[in-house]
Structure formats: C-alpha cells, structure tokens
Amino acid sequence: MLVLLAVLSGFPASAELSFIFTNAMPTALPRRPNIILILAHGLGYGDLSCYGQTKFQTPNLDRLAAEGVRFTNYAADSMAASPVRAALLLGSDSGHLKQRSNEAVPLGTNEITLAQILKKSGYHTGLIGEWDLGDDASSGAPWKIGFDEFAGYFDSADAENYYSDYIWRYAPKGLLNPTNNQREDFIGREMLYANTGGRRGQYIPDLYTKAAMNFIANNQPDQFNRHRPFFLLLDYATPRPNTAETIRVGNGMQVPTDAPYSAETWPPPERNKAAMIARLDGDIGKLLAQLQKIQQDSNTVIFFSSAGLPKKTGGVDPQFFHSVLATNDLRAPMIVHWPGTISAGQVNGFKWSPQDFLPTAAEIAMTPSPTNITGTSILPALSGQAQTNLPAPN
C-alpha cells in the first residue's frame, strides 16, 4: 500500500489529507483524461471580457476560451444554484427537479450521480467548495454519492461567508481526531483559526484554490496510481454576496481588497464585485499553471461555468456591468478547454444546458451514462462537429 500525505495550507497542522491506493483499485485506461468542472456562483454572461465585458478584464478566463471553445447559448435554466448543481450531476432537466427551489433538497439514495459513475469506472473524485445537496447526516452527503474527498460547506448560508472560521472535510483515514488521536474519515467541523474571533486571516476562495492545486498534484495520473484519472468539482461562491454582511454594512461583496479597481468611481459594492471576479480569474490562472507544471494540461478537460445567475442583491445591480443582457436571459458563460483535442478559438452557438454535462463527461471518460436521464452528450459540438445525437422534438 502506498500512502501519500498532503497538508492543505490554511488548515491546522493536524488536518491532513490521505490518499490511499490499494491493489484492489480499478485499473483505468492511461488515455482517459482528467475532468475538472469549475463553477462560479451568480456570475453573469457579460461578466467576462471574452463575453463582452469592457469595464474590467478577465485574462485567464479569456485565455481558457481562446484555447478552447466559448459557448454563447448555454442556458443555466434556473436563477437558483441548487437545481443547476443537481442537473449537472444527475443529467436530468429542471422538470425532474421542480422540488429543488432556492432551498436545498438532499440527493436521494435512488439518484445516480456523475461522481458515482466516474468513480466506478476508475476515476478518483473530489469536491471542493459549496455542496448544497445534502449535509453529513443525509443521503446526499458527498461521500455517499460518489466523492472520494470533500472540503467545503454543506449549504449556501455557510458557503457565502468568505471568512468562515471552520470548514467541513471528508478524507478516508486522512483526518486526525484530536480527542482520540485516531485517523478517521470525518470528524465534523474543522476550525480555521485565522478567522476565529472575527479575524479575517484566511479568504475562503483562496483556500479552495490551494486545496484544488494540492488535489491536482497528488492525484495526477502516473505509474504510482496506475495512471488513474481524476474528476474534480471546484465550486466557488464567487461573486455571490454574503447576506449577513449585506445586512450589516450594505455591501455583501466580501473580498480582501478592491484592487485593482480601488481608484474607480464605481459604487463600493461594484468595485468589490469586479475585484472578486478578478481574483477568481487569477485563481484560474494558478490552476492552469499547476496543470502545466505536472504536464497534465493536455490531458485535462476543464469546464467553466456558473451555478446561479446574477441578482440585484448585496448592494450590486446586474445592470451596472451588464452582467445579464436582458431580465429573461438565462444564459450563463460556458467555456471548455482541452488542448490538443478541442480546436482553439471556437465560438459555438449550440444550445445546451446543465443536464447535458453528465452524458458529455461520461462519454469523455469512455463510460456509459444511465438510460433514464434527459441530457444528451455534446461531445461532437466540443469537437466542432455536427450534433447528430439530438433527441427527436416533441
């Protein structure tokens, strides 16, 4: 047995992640790519400069689009993030998820997720960030529906606090329980002491990025893990406002600094929003650099989009930066990056939605999708080919 230990920056010294591989592990095909799904929250179609934003720039996301395909007709289908996440992982349209409104509903034991499908086929699976589809005691706990590792928050109320003083984590035999000095899978809340007592020493999105970089480095396909690929769902809260901070000071856009927009005459919440998006863009650049460092950039498919659409809340107005083009426009940004496989510089108007992600990712992973889903693989569109597998119109 080979045990690799990694410590996430920002966690207590005792908070370790353990990655354990055994001889019983499924053997994956070396040519299957890693899959990363990165979600923002409340990021509008017009919030990226590659989608027409002119007041501020997003160079790393622009690069992601320039090296891959930028979709102009991807519809989030819901103002709420929870139904979008459910559709992405279940391959079902909003009609099947009507009960999932703004209030999170745990995933059921009879629902098969993309994480389960990929894990069964030999992928190592990780979830970092907001979950919102079941807490640790529910049937929707991340580790019960296919995720090998989890670090983040179970509901939106916790996830929107950018300076939370705790985090939840699941890591098989990787967490040291200080009460009995035993290694366990889950020990409940882990304190982030840099943020206790009202301090703001650890910005949670920065912690997500560090965790994602460690996950990528420690799970890169190589001879030690039989070239096993990974699937990572990286779910940022950015740029959603913190409701409690909105009530307290009228500006819910929490960010360490409004640089590089401090000199702008925009309202403070709008400066903060632009700074949050710039910080997210910088995080994407760090992830791209990490993939290049370990020579996995051409072996990794990155999907970038947003769960939930912009709202007039937290002191910001979606019309200030033209985040949405019209009040009834449910389109969200969707960029797909796969160097060497997806031709660079594509702009594609093909219409698709979150339900199509599961069958697309499954086909990329060379594994079958469930037969009872409503989504359709858009892999041909990613390759610049005609979609010939569309369902017949009703």
Question: Given this model, what pLDDT does residue 17 score?
Answer: 35
**Does the pLDDT at position 3 exceed 50?**
no
Domains in the chain (CATH in brackets) are 33-162+203-381 (3.40.720.10)
d(CA 83, CA 77): 9
d(CA 11, CA 214): 13
User: Residue written as tokens 């020579």?
Assistant: 295
Question: Given this model, what pLDDT does residue 308 score?
Answer: 85
Question: Given this model, what pLDDT does residue 25 score?
Answer: 53
Supply 313's token pair: 């809340």
Long-range residue pairs from 150-153, CB within 8 A, at least 24 positions apart, any chain: 150/126, 151/8, 151/127, 151/208, 151/211, 152/127, 152/128, 152/208, 152/235, 153/129
For residue 181, is it left (φ>0), alpha (ψ between -120 and 50) or beta?
A: left
Is residue 43 within 8 A of residue 333, CB to CB? The reply is: yes
The pLDDT confidence band at residue 385, using thresholds 50, 70 and 90, is confident
**Does the pLDDT at position 5 exceed 50?**
no
Which residues does residue 234 pair with via DSSP β-bridges, in sequence order?
38, 128
Question: Given this model, what pLDDT does residue 389 score?
Answer: 61
263's CB contacts (< 8 A; 6+ apart) are none
**Distances, alpha carbon 6 to alpha carbons 14, 214, 216, in Å:** 11, 7, 11
d(CA 337, CA 305): 12
User: DSSP secondary structure string, 232-269?
Assistant: EEEE--TT---HHHHHHHS-----S--TTSTT--S-HH
From the number of C-beta atoms within 10 Å of its C-beta (0-12, 13-18, 19+), residue 139 rates as middle
The pLDDT confidence band at residue 4, using thresholds 50, 70 and 90, is very low
pLDDT tens string 174-203:
888 888 888 999 989 999 999 999 999 999
Question: Given this model, what pLDDT does residue 80 score?
Answer: 80
Question: Given this model, what pLDDT does residue 230 score?
Answer: 98
The pLDDT confidence band at residue 28, using thresholds 50, 70 and 90, is very low
- Tell me what percent of the residues of the chain surpass a pLDDT of 70: 87
pTM of the model: 0.90
**Distances, alpha carbon 37 to alpha carbons 85, 142, 223, in Å:** 11, 16, 25
**Does the pLDDT at position 13 exceed 80?**
no
Other C-beta atoms closer than 10 Å to the C-beta of 389 total: 12
d(CA 258, CA 98): 38
Question: Given this model, what pLDDT does residue 76 score?
Answer: 82
Mean pLDDT to the nearest integer, 294-308: 95
Closest of 219, 231, 22 to residue 121, by C-alpha = 231
Other C-beta atoms closer than 10 Å to the C-beta of 240 total: 29
Question: Given this model, what pLDDT does residue 177 score?
Answer: 85
d(CA 366, CA 186): 32
d(CA 336, CA 316): 28
- Render the burial of 374-385: b for 16+ CB within 10 Å, e for the rest: bbbbbbbbbeee
The pLDDT confidence band at residue 167, using thresholds 50, 70 and 90, is very high
Range with the lowest mean pLDDT among 11-15, 72-76, 145-149, 369-373? 11-15
Is residue 97 within 8 A of residue 375, CB to CB? The reply is: no
Question: Given this model, what pLDDT does residue 251 score?
Answer: 97
pLDDT tens string 269-300:
999 999 999 999 999 999 999 999 999 999 99
- How many CA within 13 A on the CB side of residue 318? 21
**Does the pLDDT at position 361 exceed 70?**
yes
Supply 120's token pair: 């069964």
pLDDT tens string 309-327:
899 999 999 999 999 887 7
**Does the pLDDT at position 381 exceed 50?**
yes
Which residues does residue 302 pair with via DSSP β-bridges, in sequence order?
36, 337
d(CA 239, CA 229): 30
Range with the lowest mean pLDDT among 59-68, 77-86, 124-133, 256-265? 77-86
Closest of 237, 245, 327 to residue 39, by C-alpha = 237
Averaged pLDDT of the chain:
88
Which residues does residue 19 pair with via DSSP β-bridges, in sequence order?
4
The pLDDT confidence band at residue 97, using thresholds 50, 70 and 90, is low
Closest of 393, 365, 390, 392 to residue 377, by C-alpha = 390
Helix or strand holding residue 68 (H, E): none
Crossing angle (nearest 10°) for helices 268-293 and 204-218: 10
d(CA 265, CA 267): 7
The pLDDT confidence band at residue 394, using thresholds 50, 70 and 90, is very low
The pLDDT confidence band at residue 11, using thresholds 50, 70 and 90, is very low
